[in-house]
């Protein structure tokens, strides 16, 4: 290129014009793809909100369903809300401590090859379809004993474990080595350093990871179908019995032909959607915050 064809900078030749057109076209397509994804989210949330918000009332939360209801009977899904609370709470109580311990092992003790092995194990566990987990727990605990709320919670805990452990590993890795060294240099033994210095730094991370994992499993239907779904209509808090849950209730109601059932399904879906969206967005927000805080602690 010599100084002679300088005009090109302002008056592009055909080739440059074509290249620029292709570039513009591709940029437009990329923009369109992002717009489609956002639009899908908007449409799904909007149509659930439109159908569900109107059906939302206190009866949904407080009144049990009435089988073979004739006429305008006030009925709700109280059994499902209570059951979901119990099952998800129990699942968290089972999965969280184990997840934290796995993360402690990986970050503080495991030699490199084992660390990679545990990472692969968690990924594989995370990749097993939830329906297979459901079948597994059915074969392990339901056959011969019947469905129970805590069995459903165990199935959800299996799903939660890799999520909880993964996010804990990430958070523990953020704790600055200088903090560990400072404690070890004082002559504090390793286990006290881990439990007393390192772990307290990660409280924010534990909360975030838990919220994310809860948001994920609260909407899980498949593992509960075989473990805690053959239920009555009365509200129960006893995990020794099979308990109804919101996702299973939505699934069953959506299979019914009656529009009144659909209406309750939409209302429950709206509640579930609000909960999961709120949980995952606040977890995102918490994650950025706690990450910043942990990073600062080392300085």
Partner 1 sequence: MSTVGATGEAARRPFPGRRARLGDVLLQGVAGLAALGAFVLICLIAYKVVDGSRLSLSTFGLGFLRHVGWDPVHNRLGGASFLFGTAATSLGALLLATPLAFGIALYLTELAPRWIRGPVTALVETLAAIPSVVIGLWGVIVLGPVLRDHVMPALHSTLGFIPLLGTPSATGTGIFTATFVLTIMILPIVSSISCELFLGVPAELKEAALGLGATRWEMVRGVVVPYARGGVAAAMILGLGRAVGEAIAVAQVIGGVDNLVSWNLFNGGNTLAGKIALEFQSSTSSLETSSLFYLALILLVFSLVMNVFAQVVVRRVARRQGLVAR
Partner 2 sequence: MRETKGVSVSVSSAIERAVRVETKREPLPPRERLQQVFEIEDLSADYGSNPALKDVSMEVYKNLVTAVIGPSGCGKSTFIRCLNRMNDLVPGFRQTGTIRYHGQDIAAKDVDPVAVRRTIGMVFQRPNPFPKSIQDNVAWGLKVLGMKDNLPERVERALTQAALWDEVKDRLKVSALSLSGGQQQRLCIARAIAVEPDVVLMDEPASALDPIATQAIEQLLHELKSEYSFVIVTHNMQQAARVADMTAFFSISRGDEGERWGELIEYDATEKLFTAPSDKRTEDYVTGRFG
Considering only residues 16 to 55 of the shown chain, the ones binding partner 2 according to CB under 8 A are 16, 19-20
Choice between 110 and 174, CB closer to partner 1 = 110
Distance CA 271, CA 81 (A): 10
C-alpha pair distances (Å), 233 with each of 10, 127, 244, 272: 75, 34, 8, 20
Stretch that binds partner 1, among 68-76, 132-140, 172-180, 232-240 (CB under 8 A): 132-140
If binding means CB under 8 A, how many residues of this protein chain bind partner 1? 89
- Take residue 201 and report the two structure tokens written for it: 């730094």
Cα–Cα distance, 175 to 205 (Å, whole number): 11
Identity of the residue, 89 or 196, whose beta carbon is nearer to partner 1 in the bound complex: 196
Is 200 a binding residue for partner 2 by CB under 8 A? The answer is: no
Check residue 186 for interaction with partner 2 (CB under 8 A).
no
Smallest distance, partner 1 to C-beta of residue 273, A: 5
Binding flag, residue 1, partner 2 (CB under 8 A):
yes
Could you say which of partner 1, partner 2, none residue 237 binds, taking C-beta under 5 to 8 angstroms by partner kind? Answer: none
Q: DSSP secondary structure string, 154-184?
A: HHHHHHHHHHHHHHHHHHHHHS-HHHHHHHH
User: Nearest CA to 218 among 30, 83, 39, 116?
Assistant: 83
Which residue, 61 or 131, has its beta carbon nearer to partner 1?
A: 131
Residue 10 makes contact with partner 2 by CB under 8 A: yes
- Kindly state whether residue 172 participates in binding partner 1, applying the rule CB under 8 A: no
Nearest to partner 2 of 8, 66 (CB atom): 8
């Amino acid at each position: 290129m010599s100084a002679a064809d300088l005009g090109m900078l302002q008056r592009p030749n055909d080739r440059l014009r074509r290249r620029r057109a292709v570039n513009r076209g591709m940029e437009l397509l990329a923009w369109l793809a992002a717009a489609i994804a956002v639009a899908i989210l908007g449409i799904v949330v909007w149509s659930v909100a439109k159908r569900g918000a109107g059906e939302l009332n206190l009866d949904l939360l407080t009144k049990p369903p009435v089988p073979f209801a004739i006429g305008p009977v006030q009925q709700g899904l109280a059994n499902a809300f209570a059951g979901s609370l119990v099952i998800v709470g129990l699942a968290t109580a089972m999965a969280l401590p184990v997840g934290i311990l796995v993360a402690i092992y990986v970050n503080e003790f495991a030699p490199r090859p084992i660390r990679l092995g545990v990472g692969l194990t968690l990924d594989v566990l995370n990749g097993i379809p939830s329906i297979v987990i459901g079948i597994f727990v059915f074969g392990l605990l339901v056959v011969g004993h019947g469905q129970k709320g805590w069995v459903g919670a165990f199935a959800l805990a299996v799903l939660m474990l890799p999520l909880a452990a993964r996010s804990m590993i990430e958070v523990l890795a953020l704790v600055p080595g200088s903090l560990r060294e400072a404690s070890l240099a004082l002559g504090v033994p390793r286990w006290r350093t881990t439990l007393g210095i390192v772990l307290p730094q990660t409280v924010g991370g534990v909360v975030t990871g838990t919220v994310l994992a809860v948001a994920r499993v609260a909407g899980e239907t498949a593992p509960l179908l075989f473990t805690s779904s053959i239920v009555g209509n009365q509200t129960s808090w006893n995990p020794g019995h099979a308990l109804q849950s919101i996702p299973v209730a939505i699934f069953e109601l959506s299979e019914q032909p009656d529009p009144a059932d659909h209406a309750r399904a939409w209302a429950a879906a709206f509640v579930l959607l609000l909960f999961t969206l709120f949980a995952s967005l606040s977890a995102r927000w918490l994650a950025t915050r706690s990450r910043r805080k942990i990073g600062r602690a080392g300085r």
